[in-house]
């Protein structure tokens, strides 16, 4: 009889993230092929896991059409060489798609229905711009259920500035610059590269190359440079390209397991799932969504914000992260927050980003046995937030070493 079990994040990998559009490295690469490459890389790195024991494959995409359609979890599993006996599904929760893939598969493992599962996401924003090929119900506008500006994420970011005037453009600019510099420092120290799956790419002339690094990084960014950027979402606004995540293509995947599977296959989990929560807020100010979802997740875990030793917060916009930090009384430059930088530099391929946060937190846990709990959290389009709290299996109860 099935029994409740712990849920473990065994491993995670991702493709390098590319700039969306004709000049991006994935312009001639299919979205589903990005997922396939990630799955193959993850399964090769975890060769002790029998492919036929994977109970399900959940892959998220925000725009479920074209090469991101056709039940991605199933089609990607087949294309990646998993046995035909392995089922799959597609998930959609906009920016929190991969995060929802993990929590959905994690819940299935937790109640004893699954032993092993793959969970991730993909977004090819070059092929499928957010909101492209959709037909919102006219009642949203006609009945004033949602302001039309709520469908423009940049406009919602400007509204956080409006609601909280003390969260200034200067603070957001400093955060954006810091993200770029932290990502480059992590690259220089080879922190990020071990979890990247190289992808063969073809340019406009038909020449083949290999994508091995995130394409959108701008380590030369300065405060002076950001101060001169235009504010595309509002005249004389406060949100710029330097404080926003760029449009991005990429895929992520994770391997989840229950306690019995960990023992059976001698696995070495990188994290244990403690709790998760999603919450809804006004779509017009969707960036504050991670605040209530984090409060719910902390309550479910019996923890407080002071128990969290590492934060991986998705930088959809700098102002969005700063609003969460301000709410919980955490400094903008707190070293626990995104120590290797975030989406402002790496990019935010919508439905893929949740697992990118987890991959980075897992790698940081291995270096930080003094930290017991970590948080992955993100805002979600149409007014939602998602949060997952994780426990570090390497925690040794000792103070941080000098």
What is the distance, to the nearest Å, from the Cα of residue 227 to the centroid of all Cα atoms in its chain? 28
**d(C-alpha 292, C-alpha 280), whole Å:** 8
Q: Is 236 a catalytic residue?
A: no
Q: For residue 297, which phi and psi values (nearest 5 degrees)?
A: -65, -40
Indicate the helix (H) or strand (E) that contains 345: helix 343-346
Per-position DSSP letters for 99-166, written without gaps between them: HHHHHHHHHHHHTTS-SEEEEEEEEETTTS-TTTT----THHHHTTSS-GGGG-HHHHHHHHHHH-TT
**d(C-alpha 321, C-alpha 314), whole Å:** 7
User: In the numeric block, which tokens belong to residue 4?
Assistant: 């409740």
Point out which residues pair with 88 in neighbouring strands.
57
User: In the numeric block, which tokens belong to residue 63?
Assistant: 């725009």
User: In the numeric block, which tokens belong to residue 235?
Assistant: 């005249």
Point out which residues pair with 375 in neighbouring strands.
311, 389
**d(C-alpha 90, C-alpha 69), whole Å:** 8
Q: Is 348 a catalytic residue?
A: yes
**d(C-alpha 374, C-alpha 358), whole Å:** 10
Q: Which one is catalytic: 95, 124, 128, 161? A: 95
Q: Which one is catalytic: 124, 128, 161, 379? A: 379
The residues carrying an active-site annotation are 95, 348, 379
């Amino acid at each position: 009889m099935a029994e409740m079990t712990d849920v473990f994040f065994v491993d995670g990998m991702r493709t390098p993230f590319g700039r969306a559009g004709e000049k991006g490295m994935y312009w001639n690469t299919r979205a589903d092929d990005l997922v396939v490459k990630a799955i193959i890389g993850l399964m090769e790195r975890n060769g002790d896991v029998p492919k036929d024991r994977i109970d399900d494959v959940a892959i998220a995409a925000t725009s479920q059409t074209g090469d991101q359609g056709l039940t991605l979890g199933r089609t990607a599993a087949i294309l990646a060489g998993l046995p035909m006996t392995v089922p799959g599904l597609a998930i959609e929760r906009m920016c929190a798609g991969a995060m929802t893939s993990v929590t959905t598969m994690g819940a299935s493992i937790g109640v004893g229905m699954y032993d092993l599962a793959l969970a991730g996401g993909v977004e090819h924003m070059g092929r499928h711009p957010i909101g492209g090929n959709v037909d919102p119900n006219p009642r949203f506008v006609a009945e004033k259920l949602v302001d039309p500006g709520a469908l423009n994420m940049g406009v919602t970011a400007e509204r956080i500035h409006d609601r909280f005037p003390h969260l200034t453009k200067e603070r957001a600019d400093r955060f954006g610059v810091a993200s770029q510099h932290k990502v480059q420092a992590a690259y220089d120290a080879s922190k990020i590269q071990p979890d990247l799956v190289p992808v063969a790419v073809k340019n406009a002339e038909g020449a083949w190359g290999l994508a091995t690094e995130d394409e959108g990084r701008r380590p030369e960014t300065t405060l002076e440079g950001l101060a001169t950027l235009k504010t595309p979402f509002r005249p004389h606004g406060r949100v710029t390209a330097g404080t926003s995540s760029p449009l991005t293509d990429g895929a992520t995947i994770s391997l989840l397991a229950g306690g019995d599977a960990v023992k059976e296959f001698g696995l070495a989990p990188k994290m244990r799932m403690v709790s998760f929560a999603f919450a809804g807020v006004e779509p017009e100010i969707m960036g504050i969504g991670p605040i209530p979802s984090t409060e719910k997740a902390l309550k479910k875990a019996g923890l407080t914000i002071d128990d969290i030793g590492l934060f991986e917060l998705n930088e959809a916009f700098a102002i969005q992260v700063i609003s969460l930090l301000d709410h919980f009384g955490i400094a903008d430059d707190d070293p626990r927050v995104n120590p290797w930088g975030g989406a402002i530099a790496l990019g935010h391929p919508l439905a893929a980003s949740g697992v990118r946060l987890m991959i980075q937190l897992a790698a940081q846990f291995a270096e930080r046995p003094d930290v017991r709990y970590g948080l992955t959290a993100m805002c979600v389009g149409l007014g939602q937030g998602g949060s997952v709290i994780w426990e570090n299996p390497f925690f040794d109860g000792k103070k941080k070493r000098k």
